[in-house]
C-alpha cells in the first residue's frame, strides 16, 4: 500500500525556518517525481515545488523561489522541503504528492500544518 506521511510542521515566527519531511513507503520511491502542494486555511490548492526522480532537477512556484528548497534522499525514501524566510502568507497545510506521470498527483499525504505567526 502506498503511503506518504508528512511531518515537521508547526508554529514558527516570521523570518524563521522549518524543514518538512515526507516519508514514503509501498512503492519504489526512487522511480517517481515528487511534489509539494499547499493549502492555506479555507483556500484552494497551490502547487509549491517538484523534484525529479534522482533529485537532479527541481522547480518552484514564484512565491517561494529563493526561499524554499526541495530535496530527496532516495536511500531513506524521504522527500524534504526546507523553508526559510517564512512569511505569514506561507501559513498552510503542506501536502506531499506522488507524480504518476506528467504532473498527475495520484497519491497524497495527510498534510502537515505550518503556521507563521509572531
Partner 1 sequence: QSALTQPASVSGSPGQSITISCTGTSSDVGSYNLVSWYQQHPGKAPKLMIYEVSKRPSGVSNRFSGSKSGNTASLTISGLQAEDEADYYCCSYAGSSTFDVVFGGGTKLTVL
Nearest partner of 61 among 71, 48, 50, 51, judged by Cα: 48
Minimum CB separation of residue 40 from partner 1 in Å reads 12
Site string for partner 1, 3-42 (x = CB under 8 A): --------------------------------x-x-----
Residue closer to partner 1 by CB (options 18, 48) is 48
CA distances from 90 to 48, 67, 71, 93 (A): 10, 11, 19, 9
According to DSSP, the β-strands at 33-39 and 45-51 are antiparallel
Residue closer to partner 1 by CB (options 16, 21) is 21
Percentage helix, strand, coil for the chain under 3-state DSSP, each rounded to 5: 5, 55, 40
Minimum CB separation of residue 60 from partner 1 in Å reads 8
Which residues of this protein are in contact with partner 1, per CB under 8 A? 35, 37, 44-47, 50, 59-63, 95, 100, 102-106, 108-111
Amino acid at each position: 500500500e502506498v503511503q506518504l506521511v508528512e511531518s515537521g510542521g508547526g508554529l514558527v515566527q516570521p523570518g524563521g525556518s522549518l524543514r518538512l519531511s515526507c516519508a514514503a513507503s509501498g512503492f519504489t520511491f526512487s522511480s517517481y517525481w515528487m511534489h509539494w502542494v499547499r493549502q492555506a486555511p479555507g483556500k484552494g490548492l497551490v502547487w509549491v515545488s517538484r523534484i525529479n526522480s534522482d533529485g537532479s532537477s527541481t522547480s518552484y512556484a514564484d512565491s517561494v523561489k529563493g526561499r524554499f528548497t526541495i530535496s530527496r534522499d532516495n536511500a531513506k525514501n524521504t522527500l524534504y522541503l526546507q523553508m526559510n524566510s517564512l512569511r505569514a502568507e506561507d501559513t498552510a497545510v503542506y501536502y506531499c504528492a506522488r507524480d504518476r506521470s506528467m504532473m498527475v498527483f495520484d497519491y497524497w499525504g495527510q498534510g502537515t500544518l505550518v503556521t507563521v505567526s509572531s
